[in-house]
Chain A
Amino acid sequence: GAVVSQHPSWVICKSGTSVKIECRSLDFQATTMFWYRQFPKQSLMLMATSNEGSKATYEQGVEKDKFLINHASLTLSTLTVTSAHPEDSSFYICSAPRAAHKSTEAFFGQGTRLTVV
């Protein structure tokens, strides 16, 4: 079963409003989570690294005031798209690393499709 849960799966919002997306690790603690964005017919691009207990680290070109990230606990990170515009419409997906034998594996949430109208 899923080890990373993302909610909601899809959301439609009006321009100018804010939308919060949650990413939860279900049976393990994740001090770090990653947020990716996927434009239509393109690959996933890393937006930011969410760090529990400290500020998120944003990739170059990602507006930190537009995409607010809060790592509230060891199992929850949230991405808030503030003052959303149609160009923010995209597929957002989170991942959380979980330690396994001799390695660390990324587990992905099911993604959130955001449509801004």
Chain B
Amino acid sequence: AQSVTQPDIHITVSEGASLELRCNYSYGATPYLFWYVQSPGQGLQLLLKYFSGDTLVQGIKGFEAEFKRSQSSFNLRKPSVHWSDAAEYFCAVGPMEYGNKLVFGAGTILRVKS
């Protein structure tokens, strides 16, 4: 079965601290992996994606993610969090051949304290 697990529902970090959001997936085929960010009342913005090649991918806003096939993980990281990063983050996986029939994780709400 296809699934994405984001074990942390809420995470609170201090501004300037590092961040790691966890994502594990279960997928029968070669996965396309994505991280999206959703601000309150807004749609989804793509932070980064992984299809193949270098397992450490760089995204927008200073985010990066590392694909670890052996652990079926695709964790999102940022070295120094800014208050504007407070939002909800979704990890998603999709099939190569369709491109976009995505399965989403439940999301992680990030709170940033000053």
Interface residues of A (CB under 8 A from B): 6, 32, 34, 36, 42-46, 49, 93, 95-97, 99, 102-111, 113
Interface residues of B (CB under 8 A from A): 32, 34, 36, 41-46, 49, 51, 90, 94, 99-107
Provide 19 A-B residue pairs closer than 8 Å at the C-beta atoms, listed in order of the A residue.
Answer: A36-B104, A43-B106, A44-B44, A44-B90, A44-B102, A46-B102, A46-B103, A93-B43, A95-B100, A97-B100, A103-B49, A104-B100, A106-B46, A106-B100, A107-B46, A108-B45, A110-B43, A111-B42, A111-B43
Q: Which of B44, B46, B105 contacts A93 (CB 8 A)?
A: B44
User: Does A102 contact B51, Cβ atoms closer than 8 Å?
Assistant: yes
Complex Cα–Cα for A74 and B101 (A): 18
Contacts A103-B51, A108-B43, A109-B43 given; does A34 touch B107 at CB 8 Å = no
User: Does B107 contact A43, Cβ atoms closer than 8 Å?
Assistant: yes
Q: Tell me which residues across on chain A come within 8 A of B90, comparing CB atoms.
A: 43-44
Contacts A34-B100, A34-B101, A43-B107 given; does A110 touch B42 at CB 8 Å = yes
Q: Tell me which residues across on chain B come within 8 A of A108, comparing CB atoms.
A: 36, 43-45
- B49: nearest chain-A partner, CB-CB: A105
